[in-house]
Structure 1
Amino acid sequence: MDKLMAFLGQVIGELGATVNAGLIVIGDRLGLYKAMAGAGPITSTELAEKTRTSERYVREWLNAQAAGGFVTYDPATKRYELPPEQAMALADEDSPAFVGGAFELATATLKATPHIEEVFKSGAGFGWHEHDAGVPTGCERFFRPGYNANLVSTWLPALDGVEEKLRVGATVADVGCGLGASSRLMADAYPRSHVTGFDYHQESIELARQKARAAGLSDRLKFEVALAQSFPGSGYDLVTMFDCLHDMGDPVG
């Protein structure tokens, strides 16, 4: 009986985390966390006014966040506050600790459950392009903070001679680039180099091109739809792959 009760306690914890993931996505999309960041203690009415949302729903959302330890609550004043540590993780997209994209990715992934159920029976694969649109966008938002914090400052300098080539002017292929976060960082940091991002997912490449134009990098950064096995060009000074190898159909081959 003790083992059963312990397991049921674990299950309830998993269930609560699953449901709360949706609430985190709501807070992220509606700007609730951002509105609370640095605002100090705030009432549900004040937060609703700041975000142009319904106070009744905001109150329930805040209570759930307080129960989960995401915000603090003072029953005497009926005010809620987003601590600075939580703000770094939930409100600041430039923070290396930002996790908002992770929950967008997780909840979007769950939408594939009926399809995954079918491939369990058939043994067929399930392509990245078959996922909900929130998977590639959530993935980019999840990994971009880590790239921002490490790619140019730590990872590339750790490769012998690579950074010097990039400074002088190198040709780079970023394979499996997705929405192009890593590609943009390299093109921005090394203006004499030319970076091409490759991905088989047409929708991701279209978004990557839009982001490159918005960043003013189109003169040295381009994106093409291509397979990892057959992306065009040769003589690249650097070929990169970030968080994509494990998603490929035959990563060993």
Structure 2
Amino acid sequence: MTDSNASNSVETQKEFIVRLANVVGDGLLCVSIAMGIETGLFQTMIDLKEEHKTTQEIADAGDFKERYVREWLGSQVAAKIVEYDPKDRTYWLPSQRYAVAGTVKASAMIMAVPNLCAAFFDVAKCFKKDGPRGVSYDKYADFDELMAGMNQEFFKDCLIQSFLPSMPKLHQQLQDGIKVLEIGCSQGMSTRIIAQNFPNSQVYGIDITESGIKEAQEKATEAGLGNVHFIVMSATVLPSDWSETFDYVFVHNVLHDLPYPMKSLHEIMRVLKKGGTLSVIDTATYSKLEDNVAKIPTFARKGYVLSMMNSVPTSLNNVDGAGLGAMWGREKAQEMMKAANFDIISISSIPKSTSLHYQCQKM
């Protein structure tokens, strides 16, 4: 088969139809895998520890309806994820395939499909000239949880262990005690991790979603963290009395989603102390389509879809929203940070992530 990026002059119509059919098949399979994660079917099979079970036995083990389980198992056997013995009509999940639902990040990536498609028809209406400007975050019911799952690996394994120590001066300041602000903290996982590991510092997390902030505050209270503060707030207009208050501002894969990113950057500049540090972590993309297709083809294939289904419509849902999108690129990112008068100290890749770290300073 020809490469997926083959030009029309090389790929025949028959080859294209075959490729298209494979794309559709993979998309439908992803829905079935997501169903196995959401319902707990995969976990039920993992708990059965490779024991060969009938559809009824699997249904009983997880308290499911057998007829639905039977159809789901059919798709998983056809995809060679679940094994099947036709002699006794039993099913089992081999241990080497437990990873299908064995990690939070893997599960979150798969769950992105049904989560984003919850707003599919709303986004479709936005394409029309006389259609709505965009889509409200309310249409993505579990989006905060989805983001928490996708970011968990970096937050838990890298944030304290390698990311913050890569900035020695800031790391020492955090230990001594400074004021930290996270923009777009969602459920506050990273905010709480910073507060827990640097008890001398006061850490603030803001987000526009009330559900995310409520979850963040509840978990902070459960953990007994007295140095973390969560507030429902837009980054566009921060409190007037916050001017030159914070020593460090942390923005993780949020800037490209904001409706007014330049206003937010100017506000960050205002509330940051002179000499303070800004960390912007955002997608390791390029501002030109041809660069994304040539240099990061795998991420580009999914990145533009993720952007179309969430980043762009939620930003454009606001009057005069920028609609940057997840594929805005490093060139545009640097242009905007410089326009906000930040000095970009360094740009580096992030371990276990498809993002870049723009370390900036207010001079």
TM superposition score category, shorter chain reference: 0.7 to 0.9
Residue equivalent to 2:258: 248
Which residue is equivalent to 2:121? 114
SS class of match (2:81): coil
Q: Which has the larger radius of gyration?
A: 2
Q: Equivalent residue of 1:36, what SS?
A: helix
Map Cα deviations across residues 145-182 of structure 1 (whole Å, 9 max, x no partner): 33222212121111232222222323211101112121
Alpha-carbon shift at residue 192 of structure 1 (Å)? 2.6
Cα distance in 2, alignment partners of residues 8 and 161 from structure 1: 56
Structure-1 residue corresponding to 2:201 = 193
Alignment map for 1:159-174 (pairs within 5 Å)? 159-174=167-182
Q: Structure 2 vs 1, CA of residues 113 and 70 (structure 1 numbering), >3 Å: closer, same or farther?
A: same
Deviation (angstroms), 1:50:
2.1
Unaligned runs of 5+ in 1: none
Matched, 1:238 2:261: no
Give 1:134's aligned residue: 142
Q: Does the Cα contact within 8 Å between 2:175 and 2:201 map onto a contact in 1?
A: yes
Report the 3-state secondary structure (helix = DSSP H, G, I; strand = E; otherwise coil) of the residue aligned with 1:79: strand
Which residue in the other structure is 1:80 paired with?
92
Aligned partners of 1:228 and 1:176: how far apart in 2?
A: 8
- Tell me the distance in 1 between the aligned counterparts of 2:180 and 2:136: 24
CA distance in 1, matches of 2:257, 2:78: 36
The structure 2 residue matched to 1:222, chosen from 229, 241, 249, is 229
Whether contact under 8 Å (2:217, 2:229) holds in the other structure is yes
Identity %: 25
C-alpha deviation, 1:74, in angstroms: 4.2
Return the alpha-carbon distance in structure 2 between the equivalents of residues 50 and 192 of structure 1: 48
Question: What amino acid sits opposite 1:159 in the alignment?
Answer: M
CA distances 1:174-196 after superposition (whole Å, capped 9, x unpaired): 10111212112212222332211
- Alignment check: 8 A CA contact 1:178 1:201 kept: yes
Q: Distance in 1 between matches of 2:257 and 2:197?
A: 27
CA distance in 2, matches of 1:88, 1:168: 41
C-alpha spacing 1:159/1:76, structure 2 compared with 1 (3 Å)? farther
2:156 aligns to what?
Answer: 148
Change (3 A) 1:26 1:64: same
Residues 49-80 of structure 1: per-residue CA shift (max 9 Å, x gap)? 22111233223212212322333344456332
SS of the equivalent of 1:99 reads helix
Structure 2 CA distance, aligned partners of 1:104 and 1:215? 28
Asked if the contact 1:72–1:83 (Cα under 8 Å) also holds between the matched residues in 2, the reply is no
Gap regions ≥5 residues in structure 2? 1-9, 262-335, 341-363
Matched, 1:10 2:15: no
Label 1:130 to 1:42 Cα distance change in 2 as closer, same or farther (>3 A): same
Letter in 2 for 1:112: A
Q: 1-side partners of 2:74 and 2:33: how far apart?
A: 13
TM-score relative to the length of structure 1? 0.84
What amino acid is the match of 2:161?
S
Distance 1:213 1:75, change over 3 A: farther
- Contact residue 102 and residue 139 of structure 1 kept, 8 A: no
Name the TM-score, length of structure 2 as normaliser: 0.61
Cα distance per residue 1:78-120 (max 9 Å; x no partner)? 3321433x32341333xxxx32122333212112222222322
> Can you list the C-alpha shifts for 1:118-139, whole angstroms capped at 9, x where unaligned?
3222486425524321222222
2-structure distance, mates of 1:185, 1:10? 44
Secondary structure of 1:121 counterpart: coil
RMSD over aligned Cα, in angstroms?
A: 2.6
92 and 222 in structure 1: CA distance in 2 versus 1, 3 angstrom threshold? same
- Of 54, 57, 64, the residue aligned with 2:65 is 54
| Amino acid in structure 2 at the alignment position of 1:249 | P
* Deviation, structure 1 residue 198: 0.7
By how many angstroms is 1:216 displaced? 3.1
Secondary structure of 1:147's counterpart equals: helix
